[in-house]
Amino acid sequence: MLVIYDTHARQKREFVPLNPNEVRMYVCGMTVYDRCHIGHARVMVVFDMVTRYLRERGYQVTYVRNITDIDDKIIARAAQNKESIQALTERFITAMHDDAAALGCQPPDLEPRATESVDDMVTMIQTLIDRGHAYRADNGDVYFDVSTFDRYGELSGRHLEDLRAGARVEVDEAKSDPLDFVLWKAAKPGDPSWPAPFGSGRPGWHIECSAMSTRALGNHFDIHGGGQDLQFPHHENEIAQSECATGCHYVNYWMHNGFVRINEEKMSKSLGNFFTVAEVMARYHPEVIRFFILNSHYRSPLNYSEQNLDAARTSLTRWYTALKDAPVGGQPIEAVLSNFHEVMCDDFNTPEALALVFEQITELNRLKTSEQADERARAADHAATLQAMGRILNLGQGDAEAFLRWAPESAAGNGLDDAAIEQKIAERTAARKNKDFATSDRIRDELQAAGVILEDSAGVTTWRRG
């Protein structure tokens, strides 16, 4: 039985899809005005893992993740760069796709863009106006009337009175209530705009996801996901406008991944304390970043530090080292896989799943070096089990030697590319053959100082980066 923690219910619930063996899931995507940071990477990796595991369980999954390609920040950044909005967004959409692929994430099944969905947003806004849930203010903006939805605040557990007391109204806003939120922004000179019955303009942020999710998945679907920071007000507003426009219950399960934190603060672009995925991938193999993300439960805070990334690299190095010379042809051990699925079915508990993975690594290392033939033969089954678990998480599936020899960009230009290392190993091999052990030891020490570890076995020297 698969259970998922539902943010709305504030508890784990048995997962029962609306249609048997079919899952419809929508995840809030990126606003493409800059490179993705590690917080975005967490969203991509977490919901890639969720999608992969649901498919492993036999579900037909439709995974939708939107792209916000029109927004105040996008308009401001394009103006700052003196480039068109389309040029800016296309550049960062390409970069986002590159980052996601490097992190081992499959593309979503559908990736609607806000600018391609404006007609759906206009239709939804007009429906809200017609039903008395929205109004056009004196400044031409259209607002959602929060007072018309009596369940507002349920998702985040907030009360209208408390929200109203802490609400701020911008000088240029003309809304009737501080909690009302904008659905449509009236056209301004120089800004992109679209025609609408209630006046030319462009959509507010919240309406985008309601229009795109219901267009792709229907008025009522299974899972809606995103970062914890979107719970309020974005997802709260989505529920209100969607249910008022459609008359249907919007989402059955709300999933929110935890913050990425650095120095006890949430990592974000707005705080200026973020690391882009590209910056981190310049120092760490992309799979190390994926391991680092999955080694924490998706709902827990993820503490970014070089120490934690170094630990992830060490763990993944151990994983690939175990596989590098592991025997093949074995069969996965059903009892181990059963335990793996048991912890994954408990709200996608990847830390516990990885603990089981490393139990297999320990056993594989013991068996493949055993002096007893029957134990060495069993090693192939443990290797197959390790591969089966790794396939579900999309970890440990690459070429072991390529991973172990990967070097960060900072190592470029120091003379220690693969060819240089191979040359030094050849010189060391020649020195050993000539019994020049002083030269042999000097070369080993030089390589070790440069982070290259040599392993001699059966007259053959292999290497990896430490």
Q: Is the pLDDT of residue 411 over 60?
A: no
Which residue would you say has higher pLDDT here, 264 or 330? 330
Annotated binding site for Zn(2+): 28, 209, 234, 238
| pLDDT tens per residue across span 346-364 | 999 999 999 999 999 999 9
Listed in order, the ranges of the chain carrying CATH 3.40.50.620 are: 16-112+258-304
| pLDDT tens per residue across span 195-204 | 999 999 999 9
Question: Distance of CA 239 to CAs 149, 181, 188, 214, Å?
Answer: 10, 13, 28, 11
The CA distance from 359 to 415, in Å, is: 38
What does the H/E/C string look like for 236-286? HHHHHHHHHHHCCCCEEEEEEECCEEECCEECCCCCCCCCEHHHHHCCCCH
Sign for the pseudo-dihedral over CA of 385, 386, 388, 392: positive
Give me the pLDDT at residue 169, please.
Answer: 64
Give me the pLDDT at residue 290, please.
Answer: 98
Say which range, 155-164, 318-327, 435-444, has the weakest mean pLDDT.
435-444
Q: Is the pLDDT of residue 418 over 80?
A: no
* CATH code for the domain defined by 305-403: 1.20.120.640
What percent of the chain shows pLDDT beyond 70?
93
Which residue would you say has higher pLDDT here, 78 or 422? 78
Q: Is the pLDDT of residue 416 over 80?
A: no
* Band of pLDDT at residue 109, cut at 50, 70 and 90: very high
> Mean pLDDT, the chain, as a whole number?
91
Annotated binding site: 28, 209, 234, 238, 269
**Can you list the alpha helix ranges (DSSP code H) found in 70-204?**
72-81, 85-102, 118-130, 160-166
Give me the pLDDT at residue 413, please.
Answer: 42
| pLDDT tens per residue across span 53-88 | 999 999 999 999 999 999 999 999 999 999 999 999
* Band of pLDDT at residue 446, cut at 50, 70 and 90: confident
Annotated binding site for ATP: 269
Which residue would you say has higher pLDDT here, 372 or 238? 238
The CA distance from 444 to 448, in Å, is: 6
Listed in order, the ranges of the chain carrying CATH 1.20.120.640 are: 305-403
- Write the class of the CATH domain 16-112+258-304: alpha beta
Based on the number of CB atoms within 10 Å of its own CB, is 436 exposed (0-12), middle (13-18) or buried (19 or more)? middle
The CA distance from 364 to 379, in Å, is: 5
The CA distance from 44 to 226, in Å, is: 9
Residue 151 CB neighbour total at 10 angstroms: 10
